[in-house]
Amino acid sequence: MKLPTMVFSATALVALAAPVLGQEAAFVVMLGKDTVAVEKYTRTATRMTGELASRFGAAGNRLSYEVTLGSNGRPVSVVYRARPLTGAPAPNQPREVRLTFTGDSVKREAVFADSTSVRMLAAARGVPFAYPAFGLLEVAFADLRKSKAPTVGMAVVGLGGGNPVTQTFTVGQGDTIRVAGGGGVITIYRVDKDGRLLSVDASGTTQMVKSARSTGSIDFEGIASRLTPLGTLSPRGVATGSFMQSVVFISYGRPQVRGRTVWGGQLVPADTIWRLGANEATHLATSRELTFGTVVVPPGLYTLWFFNAAGGPQLVINKQVGQWGTVYDPAQDLARIPVTMAPTPEHVEDFTITLRNVAQGRGAIEFAWGGQVATAAFTVR
């Protein structure tokens, strides 16, 4: 689904600096040119209530939340109510999740139709957050602004029953707050002096979403009614090839362009290492020896990466296997192999790897995305 691009003037953003009490806010979350979520909420000195409609997950998500704040602005309790986009209750899921913050702990109560599950979890300086309900983070931002500390670690507590994840909130230049999560990924938030969220830039993370605070009212229910579940983002793909009675196999995630720039742009920036796909690292398995120019790759299992170097793009073959795609150890590189770039006959929306049989004992790996394809030729021994 696509919506018109929102324009936010400097005058409108200045107007957002009004006192925080009773302020309403709305965000439309974009992945490239696609609308993936919409959120609206109201925050006062003692309470925060909001709604989210999101396309993420197999069935999407409708979430409502109620946060009670103490006199110090810290969360006292939270009630989450989640259901699929269709509105029908999800089977075997709690009707609501209640959080009660006490000191460095949180009591989590998952309320089912016939029972309530209770757990106590460690949550030092705990704050609520349920992705992609970014408005909930205003509780953390307001606390950070009030503390005047340059960096604070906070335990983020969502709907799930696992241990909360501690994220590092760091005040940056101007009105920015940078939040580091697992794997060191950084999301940049623009926040005013009262901790009110102005914009979200997660383009440098694996989520790659962006959003900005609406300057006027939005048709929340209208947008929510048109959202459809994304299902599995970047589903796993497989490329196979048979060469001289041997098999070469590549397993990879298949992200979509979604209107973004690709090679040398938003998705594969210059002078960076890219995972050659999405989610888990891209893996190559070969039962025979492969030779790329003068580089010999023995039979075995490897991970593949792409280095978009200014001096020429390279296919990186690495000996580390079994890891997530953000975990790359250059010390385990087996080789970096130059690749050729060429335009594709037509736009390739879903990242596609092809193992092509060129001639007897000769093959090529092709990586097509957007308007270009990278090719690495090899021989089989």
Give mean pLDDT, residues 78-106. 92
Task: Answer yes or no: is pLDDT of 7 > 80.
Answer: no
Other beta carbons less than 10 A from residue 213's beta carbon: 22
How high is the pLDDT of residue 381? 86
310 occurs within a structural domain: yes
Task: Answer yes or no: is pLDDT of 137 > 60.
Answer: yes
Nearest to 122, CA basis, from 170, 75, 156, 167? 156
* Ramachandran sector of residue 194 (left: φ over 0; alpha: ψ -120 to 50; beta: rest): alpha
Same domain as 312, residue 206: no
Same domain as 267, residue 202: no
H helix count then E strand count, the chain: 3, 26
The average confidence (pLDDT) of the chain is 89
Compute the distance between CA of residue 32 and CA of residue 59 in angstroms, rounded to an integer: 21
158 occurs within a structural domain: yes
How high is the pLDDT of residue 230? 84
Same domain as 294, residue 181: no
Compute the distance between CA of residue 324 and CA of residue 315 in angstroms, rounded to an integer: 18
188 occurs within a structural domain: yes
Point out the domain boundary residue: 226, 260, 275. Answer: 226
Same domain as 307, residue 244: yes
Compute the distance between CA of residue 282 and CA of residue 274 in angstroms, rounded to an integer: 10
**Is 167 within 8 Å of 153 (Cβ atoms)?**
yes
49 occurs within a structural domain: yes
**Is 38 within 8 Å of 220 (Cβ atoms)?**
yes
169 occurs within a structural domain: yes
Stretch among 78-87, 155-164, 177-186, 285-294 having the lowest mean pLDDT:
177-186
Query: What is the DSSP secondary-structure string of 88-104?
Result: SPPTTS-SEEEEEEETT
Task: Answer yes or no: is pLDDT of 210 > 90.
Answer: yes
Rg (CA), the chain: 24
5 occurs within a structural domain: no
Predicted TM-score of the model (pTM):
0.74
Interstrand relation of 116-122 and 34-43 (parallel, antiparallel or unpaired)? unpaired
Compute the distance between CA of residue 267 and CA of residue 99 in angstroms, rounded to an integer: 37
Point out the domain boundary residue: 157, 191, 226. Answer: 226
How high is the pLDDT of residue 52? 97
Point out the domain boundary residue: 193, 226, 259. Answer: 226
- Taking the CA of residue 247 as centre, how many other CA atoms within 13 Å lie in the half-sphere pointing to its CB? 7
Task: Answer yes or no: is pLDDT of 334 > 90.
Answer: yes
Query: What is the DSSP secondary-structure string of 191-208?
Result: E-TT--EEEEE-TTSSS-
For the segment 164-176, what is each residue's pLDDT rounded down to a tens digit?
989 999 998 889 9
The helix/strand/coil state of 184 is: helix
For the segment 152-163, what is each residue's pLDDT rounded down to a tens digit?
999 999 998 888
Task: Answer yes or no: is pLDDT of 71 > 80.
Answer: yes
How high is the pLDDT of residue 182? 56
What is the pLDDT confidence band of residue 180, given thresholds at 50, 70 and 90? confident
Peptide bond into 75 cis (omega under 30): no
Compute the distance between CA of residue 127 and CA of residue 359 in angstroms, rounded to an integer: 60
170 occurs within a structural domain: yes
Number of domains in the chain: 2
Same domain as 253, residue 217: no
Percent of the chain topping pLDDT 70 = 93
372 occurs within a structural domain: yes
Per the model's pLDDT, the better-predicted residue between 21 and 314 turns out to be 314
Q: Give the C-alpha distances (Å, rounded to integers) separating 2 from 26, 86, 235, 246, 267.
A: 17, 20, 21, 45, 19
Compute the distance between CA of residue 267 and CA of residue 16 in angstroms, rounded to an integer: 32
Same domain as 270, residue 155: no
Nearest to 103, CA basis, from 116, 121, 117? 121
Same domain as 274, residue 165: no
Nearest to 301, CA basis, from 280, 284, 325? 284
The dihedral through the CA atoms of 265, 267, 230, 67 has a sign that is negative
Same domain as 304, residue 281: yes
Structural domain range at position 321: 236-380
Same domain as 222, residue 249: no
The dihedral through the CA atoms of 173, 179, 180, 186 has a sign that is negative
Task: Answer yes or no: is pLDDT of 117 > 70.
Answer: yes
Task: Answer yes or no: is pLDDT of 332 > 80.
Answer: yes
How high is the pLDDT of residue 23? 85
Same domain as 332, residue 242: yes
Stretch among 139-148, 186-195, 229-238, 315-324 having the lowest mean pLDDT:
229-238
230, with CB counted inside 10 A (0-12, 13-18, 19+), is middle
Highest mean pLDDT among 62-66, 178-182, 215-219: 62-66
Same domain as 198, residue 261: no
Q: Give the C-alpha distances (Å, rounded to integers) separating 217 from 2, 153, 166.
A: 18, 34, 34
**Is 337 within 8 Å of 314 (Cβ atoms)?**
yes
The helix/strand/coil state of 20 is: coil
**Is 275 within 8 Å of 281 (Cβ atoms)?**
yes
Same domain as 203, residue 247: no
